[in-house]
Amino acid sequence: MKAPRLIPFVLVAAVAAAGGYYLRAYRSGRTEPATGAAIFAVAPQPVQPALPPAGARLPSRLAAILGDQPLTDANAGTITYRALEESNPVSRMAATGVILESMTASNAHAVYQAFRDIMARTGRRHDAEWGLMLKRYGEVSGAEGLNAVAPHTGNMAFIIEGMASVDPDAAAAALAAAGVENPSLSNAWLAGLCRNDPDKALARALSGEYEDVNTDALLAQAIHTSGLDGARAAIQKALDAAKGEVAGDPVFLKLVESLGESIFHRHLIDGTHGEILSWLEQLKGQPYLPESLIDKGARETASSGKTGEALAWLERMNDGQPGSTTGGQGLFEAITLNPKIMADMDAATFARVIPRLPQSRNTLEILAAVVEPVNPEYARQLRASLPPPDPPAGGEVVEP
């Protein structure tokens, strides 16, 4: 049977993020590494440094930090230490970026040691730069970097991501040799693979061989690699390849939810609520469409002053499902956050609101209390629509 379509129409996405966004995906505990590791038999991976072209001029601030000499094995530690002493976070990160682009297998350990030295001598911590440095260490030095930080799993994860971005098989072999089982390491491997091949990374994530897949981080990397449309296409490809069999898989469900949140973010920025509502409507009835996204669609649309559009959409989303109030929680949240929505609402629109709300006494009583100051009549009607109370256990219903 042909898998249901997850990509009903084309969206153009422009997604960009700083490297620090993804560092949170699998950092755990202290960021300083432990030492005394076993040796993993994986050769360093060749990566050519991206040195500035001849005659290139750095901004004066960076030039003052980095000097005018290229990074060498001999001066790598000194230059890195000087960059990490910089108090301006923008200049410090920019200088570190230039250093890391010039990092090679021969100078990588000196750069790594400079991070450790400045922490030991001055107490300065550089968590964001540290994570990026370890990823680069893994790219250029492979197992050497892994040996330097093991058995600290948080730091090993950064190394593994870098290794997997260059040679996924070598990184997998290093993980097996390490004998350390931790979701942060498998998530790091998937992230490294996803830098170059989102299709393969998402397919592996859905293979069932990994526990606790960090779908938010994995999807974020897929979007960084190929844009929102490319990430969505990769998810669809995995769904097609599995002939729809992964539709109920917890990892797939979380991936779709993460995708929905990313699409929401894009359209909340550009103000095109209608497109996200259309996308969700075309997924109506699919087992992988979470109600949380429907609630969010209703909440964000009503909160933007388009209550009529939100109601029409919820009516279509619930069509054919008598008594269903899917998305009503989002409508409730929009009104409770901004009761003025009810202030000038006409009677016909309000009559459509009541059946779309969650039909519980507690919910409607809360809403009536919130609405009372801005529209006492609608508060009265909400109370009049309260369902009967649940009977007490073993007794009759007692009206207050």
318 & 209 share domain: no
Q: How many structural domains are present in the chain?
A: 2
In a domain, 149, yes or no: yes
156 & 71 share domain: yes
75 & 139 share domain: yes
Whole-angstrom Cα distance, residue 75 to residue 69? 9
Whole-angstrom Cα distance, residue 28 to residue 25? 9
Q: What is the pLDDT of residue 247?
A: 67
Whole-angstrom Cα distance, residue 155 to residue 149? 6
DSSP helix/strand/coil, 144? helix
Whole-angstrom Cα distance, residue 129 to residue 222? 22
Task: Please answer whether residues 97 and 126 qualify as being in contact, where contact means their C-beta atoms are separated by less than 8 angstroms.
Answer: no
In a domain, 373, yes or no: yes
In a domain, 252, yes or no: no
Q: Is the pTM of this model over 0.85?
A: no
Q: If you search the block for the tokens 């090993």, which residue do you land on?
A: 156
Q: What angle do CA 128, 129, 130 make, to 5 degrees?
A: 90
Q: What is the pLDDT of residue 243?
A: 67
DSSP helix/strand/coil, 400? coil
Domain range holding 55?
20-241
Helix pair 183-196, 215-241: axis angle to 10 deg: 60
168 & 86 share domain: yes
- Nearest CA to 301 out of 277, 317, 279, 321 is that of 277
pLDDT tens, position by position, for the chain (400 residues)? 444 444 432 232 322 333 333 333 333 333 443 333 333 333 444 444 444 554 457 888 898 899 888 888 999 999 999 999 999 999 999 999 999 999 999 999 999 999 999 999 999 999 999 999 999 999 999 989 999 998 999 999 999 999 999 999 999 999 888 888 899 999 999 999 999 999 999 999 988 888 889 999 999 999 999 998 899 888 888 878 776 677 678 888 888 888 888 888 887 777 677 778 888 898 888 878 889 999 999 999 999 888 999 999 999 999 988 878 899 999 999 999 999 999 989 999 999 999 999 988 999 999 999 999 999 999 999 999 988 877 666 555 555 5
181 & 298 share domain: no
176 & 308 share domain: no
167 & 232 share domain: yes
- Nearest CA to 326 out of 286, 274, 381 is that of 286
Q: What is the pLDDT of residue 193?
A: 97
